[in-house]
Amino acid sequence: MKNGFTVLEFLIYIVILAIALAGMILASSNIFQVGTITEVYQEVSHNGSFAVHKIGQSVKEASGISIKEGGKVLELSFKDKNPTVFDVFDGKLRIKDGNSDYVDLTTNKVRVDSLLFDKISDYSVRVEMHVSFSNPQNLPQYDFKSYFTSSFTLKN
């Protein structure tokens, strides 16, 4: 009786090991892909929600609404301070309070594809915004867009 493995047994063990490793690699690849998709979705959703919330908060505090440049710029007037301006520059939503410099409201990870302000009345405005994940390599797992819309009314 011989001790050890035959060549056939050794090959069977290697095939079983290769199949197990391939399964683990495939499973971990799927886990990373799901994580990436989740990150992309959360980034777009967070940026869009934050931006619309900030616009709404500012509109509610304002005393007047002015839409400029065909609906691409929202200017809010206030009784006790200089106007606040919202617009998109280089794919980022930005805000300018009074005489201060513009501040980006969205991150570099997303792109504001379109922004439209529509004055519903002297006291209310509708905001429509399309936001997508910045995807310079056009990879399918980073391809995500979302649409945000809301209406806001002045408190005063």
Which of 4-18, 63-77, 139-153 is modeled with the greatest confidence?
A: 63-77
**Quick check: 35 pLDDT over 80?**
no
Going by pLDDT thresholds of 50, 70 and 90, the confidence category of residue 156 is low
**Quick check: 5 pLDDT over 90?**
no
Please state, rounded to an integer, the average pLDDT across all residues of the chain. Answer: 88
Residue 132 makes CB contacts below 8 A (sequence gap 6+) with 44, 110, 111, 113, 143, 144, 145, 146
Residue 114: φ, ψ to 5°: -155, 150
Q: In what order do the strands lie in the sheet with 103-104?
A: 64-68, 73-77, 84-89, 92-97, 103-104
- Arithmetic mean of pLDDT, 56-69: 92
Q: Provide the greatest CA pair distance for the chain.
A: 100
Going by pLDDT thresholds of 50, 70 and 90, the confidence category of residue 26 is confident
- Arithmetic mean of pLDDT, 23-45: 82
Which of the pair, 98 or 55, is modelled with greater confidence? 55
What pTM, to 2 d.p., does this model score?
Answer: 0.77
Going by pLDDT thresholds of 50, 70 and 90, the confidence category of residue 37 is confident
Compute the distance between CA of residue 141 and CA of residue 120 in angstroms, rounded to an integer: 38
- Arithmetic mean of pLDDT, 99-106: 92
Question: What does the pLDDT read at residue 1?
Answer: 56
Question: What does the pLDDT read at residue 2?
Answer: 65
Question: What does the pLDDT read at residue 139?
Answer: 74
Residue 35 makes CB contacts below 8 A (sequence gap 6+) with none
Run of H or E residues at 146: strand 145-153
Cβ pair 111, 131 in contact under 8 A: yes
The percentage of residues in the chain with a pLDDT greater than 90, rounded to a whole number, is 58
Compute the distance between CA of residue 112 and CA of residue 122 in angstroms, rounded to an integer: 26
Q: In what order do the strands lie in the sheet with 145-153?
A: 110-121, 124-133, 145-153
